[in-house]
């Protein structure tokens, strides 16, 4: 079963929706230089992709002030904290199998203190995953877990690739889907969450983002915001169309959908997380990012 097309059926970290992995890593590089997070691999990975403007932002060669709104840098901070904390809590609870869906240029498998024996699977498009593996080998980086990769399309039969890589559905798993769901067509999102649930032994955990359905007028504002970002980047030499990469329209909200599948979730909105840290950048929230909810929880409510 394959759902939808956006910019072709495969891509690398420089093209189509794959470039969003490089954008996210560029923002992490900026946040790392500002001592907000600690992702030492973000900058070298962005540099290796070779999108000039993103490289200049990641290395600090050009100021990010005219290119990246503060809200995205603050989001990188709360997002790193949320997902790092999710995996560390999961392993503290005894889970030794993790799956990072849409891993992009995420370096958790190389920088988190995974307990010995933890297996971390990364799933993304084959060219994105292959590029990251090669680049980190060239950089002399060593995974801090038993890292295994599954190059696959998440609209397609990715569980087959995961099984071939050694995934064991009988073991409780910690799953993350970070920065992914808006890039999937609605029915592919449902199918992905169904599949994650079907592959989850009792005590498995999940973390992702739950976006509320748009109020009238919201989508027009979001589209306009994405066009504004793309236009600005185009004038700065990076040709992308952020609006085209996203899927709009009604969809099941991930949090309530997962709850119906038996997951017991907690969550906090970006607004809550920013308030807790005293971050001010939501004052300029034209794209309604503040309502995005980070959710995580346990299948069946029992801890592994």
Binding footprint of ligand SAM on the chain (CB under 6 A) = 17-18, 20-21, 24, 102-106, 124-125, 128, 153-155, 178-180, 183
Q: Are 286 and 221 in contact (CB under 8 A)?
A: yes
The position carrying tokens 């060593």 is 142
Smallest distance from ligand SAM to CB 274, Å: 18
Is the CB of 209 or the CB of 288 nearer to ligand SAM?
209
Is the CB of 128 or the CB of 304 nearer to ligand SAM?
128
Is the CB of 158 or the CB of 203 nearer to ligand SAM?
158
Smallest distance from ligand SAM to CB 303, Å: 25
Smallest distance from ligand SAM to CB 176, Å: 8
HEC string for 209-268: EECCCCCCCHHHHHHHHHHHHHHHHHHCCCCCCHHHHCCCCCCCCHHHHHHHCCEEEEEE
Sign of the torsion formed by the C-alpha atoms of 40, 41, 44 and 46: negative
Residue 240 CA: distances (Å) to CA of 24, 72, 244? 14, 17, 9
Is the CB of 43 or the CB of 124 nearer to ligand SAM?
124
Smallest distance from ligand SAM to CB 24, Å: 4
In angstroms, rounded to a whole number, what is the distance separating the alpha carbons of residues 197 and 189?
Answer: 12
| Assigned token pair, 151 | 């190059």
Q: Are 30 and 58 in contact (CB under 8 A)?
A: yes
Smallest distance from ligand SAM to CB 216, Å: 27
With CB atoms as reference, the residue minimizing the distance to ligand SAM is: 104
Is the CB of 17 or the CB of 51 nearer to ligand SAM?
17
Is the CB of 118 or the CB of 189 nearer to ligand SAM?
189
Smallest distance from ligand SAM to CB 17, Å: 5
In angstroms, rounded to a whole number, what is the distance separating the alpha carbons of residues 210 and 166?
Answer: 29
């Amino acid at each position: 079963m394959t759902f939808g097309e956006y910019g072709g059926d495969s891509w690398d970290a420089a093209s189509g929706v794959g470039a969003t992995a490089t954008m996210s890593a560029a923002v992490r590089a900026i946040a790392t230089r500002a001592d907000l997070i600690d992702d030492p691999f973000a900058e070298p990975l962005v540099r290796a992709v070779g999108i000039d403007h993103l490289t200049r932002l990641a290395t600090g060669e050009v100021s990010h002030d005219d290119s990246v709104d503060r809200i995205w840098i603050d989001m990188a901070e709360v997002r790193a904290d949320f997902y790092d904390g999710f995996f560390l809590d999961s392993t503290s609870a005894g889970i030794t199998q993790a799956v990072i869906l849409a891993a992009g240029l995420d370096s958790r498998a190389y920088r988190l203190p995974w307990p010995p024996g933890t297996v971390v699977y990364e799933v993304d498009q084959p060219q994105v995953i292959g590029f990251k593996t090669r680049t980190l080998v060239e950089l002399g980086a060593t995974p801090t877990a038993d890292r295994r990769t599954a190059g696959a399309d998440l609209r397609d039969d990715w569980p087959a690739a995961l099984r071939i890589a050694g995934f064991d559905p009988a073991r409780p798993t910690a799953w993350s889907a970070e920065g992914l769901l808006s890039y999937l067509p609605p029915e592919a999102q449902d199918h992905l969450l169904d599949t994650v649930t079907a592959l989850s032994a009792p005590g498995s955990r999940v973390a992702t983002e739950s976006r509320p359905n748009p109020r009238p007028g919201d989508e027009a504002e979001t589209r306009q915001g994405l066009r504004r970002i793309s236009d600005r980047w185009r004038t700065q030499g990076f040709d992308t169309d952020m609006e085209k990469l996203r899927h709009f329209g009604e969809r099941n909200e991930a949090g309530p959908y997962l709850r119906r599948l038996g997951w017991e979730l907690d969550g906090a909105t970006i607004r809550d997380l920013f308030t807790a840290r005293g971050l001010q950048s939501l004052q300029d929230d034209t794209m309604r990012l503040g309502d995005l909810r980070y959710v995580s929880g346990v299948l069946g409510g029992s801890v592994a």
